[in-house]
Amino acid sequence: MSYVDEVLARIHAENSGEPEFLQAVDEVLESLRPVIAQDENKFRRDAVLERLCNPDRQIKFRVSWVDDSGQVQVNTGYRIQFNNAIGPYKGGLRFHPSVYTGIIKFLGFEQIFKNSLTGLPIGGAKGGSDFDPKGKSDREVMAFCKSFMNELYRNIGPNKDVPAGDIGVGGREIGYLFGQYKKLVKHYEGVLTGKGIGWGGSLARTEATGYGLVYIAEELLKCHGYDMAGKTVVISGSGNVAIYAAEKCTMLGAKVVTVSDSTGWIYDRDGIDINLLKEIKEVRRERLTAYKDARPECEYHEGRGVWQIPCDLALPCATQNELTEDDAKLLVSNGCIAVCEGANMPATPEATKYLQENGVLFISGKASNAGGVATSALEMAQNSERTSWSFEEVDSRLKDIMVNIYHNIDDAAKRYGLEGNYVAGANIAGFEKVCDAMISQGI
């Protein structure tokens, strides 16, 4: 049996209740076959793949807090520190009722390769809770965040592990978490990223994941003879990543015609009104039905459905496995040129395969959404220097990073005779740097 197959069998046997984690591992290890085949015995002897697929440590804790009625609520908190071969652990926190060990493991595993692709010194981790911020008052969110940090603080630090936002964790939550960390350790230090601009945050971090996604999409299109201007773009989600992807597409002269949330989706033929979307989602924290109320000429549909709308570029920016093989078929039959993942693992393996086999340019999330964590690393750099850079400075570094990622994954794919397979290119390029560091540092 090949070394890759041995490890896959072992990882599947040991993690059978965690389908999202297994999906992420399968994709990466399949891509690494040609790399491993070059010196299979050495990789096996060093147990490189087993070490990569088993987190350094998993922290799981109880979070008790009091709701507005006086009832005590109990949730579970997680921080999974996967790999720190190239820098301190880094990765977001997700607050969503679907969170369990398998989700955090898949995200932490992806984060190793993504962070490596940024070219910056950050290792891979992820955390979060099954807490659902939806419908909670500000005070309840604060109570939860403070209690969550009462456990998390002992495991993180600016040179150890630096969390940030993800689904359900934005500027408000980072503020409450930071306040409690500071209270507990009595240090003012850059332990979280995505902080407010007045207290250690970086300009352009809020925009970074969405903008970065569009910068890499623009480079991909440019290298294949297309221009962003005039393109029709379909986006899913309406959170941090979706909003700023839509904003940058619009700034570049493309037209974004859809957004979605977990209850429904909007089709706005005239182009999504970004300011209205921000007001509804970032300020009022309302559902997309409020967008329809404000713009009665657009269409609102319950459930899911954005991928049926004809487009040139599709940017899934909501959650894992939200773009299925049937959706991929619709995109292909409507003449879609490219799909770039804003979310983590939004396309199912079958969808990815179908898109690639039918000539759609496809960049996987660990490359295309790396702009968020890259800018988090820039926030860490600014905190270390006790300075802050201008929006233009951060934004131009972000753009350079995304353009570099595109060329690195393109080159890696070509080196292994897989030209145009950016999924394999991203997995290989992300792996090479981490693997070299692990081997250099010994056991």
Would you say 207 or 312 has its CB closer to ligand NDP? 207
Task: Please work out, in degrees rounded to the nearest 5, the angle formed at the alpha carbon of residue 225 by the alpha carbons of 247 and 118.
Answer: 55
- Give 376's strand partners: none
Tokens encoding 95: 């607050």
Nearest residue to ligand NDP, by Cβ distance, number only: 239
Show the binding pattern over residues 32-71: x = contacts ligand 2IT (CB under 6 A), - = does not: ----------------------------------------
Query: Does 166 participate in binding ligand NDP (rule CB under 6 A)?
Result: yes
Return phi, psi of residue 131, to 5°.
Answer: -60, 135
Show the binding pattern over residues 276-315: x = contacts ligand NDP (CB under 6 A), - = does not: ----------------------------------------
Query: In the annotation, is 399 catalytic?
Result: no
Query: Does 214 participate in binding ligand NDP (rule CB under 6 A)?
Result: no
CB of 98 to ligand NDP, least distance (A): 6
Query: Does 341 participate in binding ligand 2IT (rule CB under 6 A)?
Result: no
Listed ranges 86-94, 216-224, 311-319, 408-416: which one lies at the site for ligand 2IT (CB under 6 A): 86-94
Query: Does 111 participate in binding ligand NDP (rule CB under 6 A)?
Result: no
CB of 289 to ligand NDP, least distance (A): 11
CB of 441 to ligand NDP, least distance (A): 27
Which is it for the CA torsion 277, 282, 287, 289, positive or negative?
Answer: negative
Tokens encoding 175: 């503020």
What is the C-alpha separation between 373 and 165, in angstroms, rounded? 10
Instruction: Using CB under 6 A, pick the residue from 83, 348, 356, 376 that binds ligand 2IT.
Output: 376
Tokens encoding 51: 């070490």
Rg (CA), the chain: 21
Query: Residue 380 in contact with residue 441, Cβ under 8 Å?
Result: no
Q: Determine whether 305 is exposed, middle or buried from the number of CB atoms within 10 Å of its CB (0-12, 13-18, 19+).
A: middle
Q: Which among 181, 182, 146, 125 is positioned nearest to 63, based on CA atoms? A: 146
Query: Residue 409 in contact with residue 223, Cβ under 8 Å?
Result: no
Would you say 334 or 388 has its CB closer to ligand 2IT? 388
Query: Does 344 participate in binding ligand NDP (rule CB under 6 A)?
Result: yes
| Residues annotated as catalytic (active site), given as ranges | 126
- Binding interface with ligand 2IT (CB under 6 A): 90-92, 114, 164, 166, 193, 344, 372-373, 376
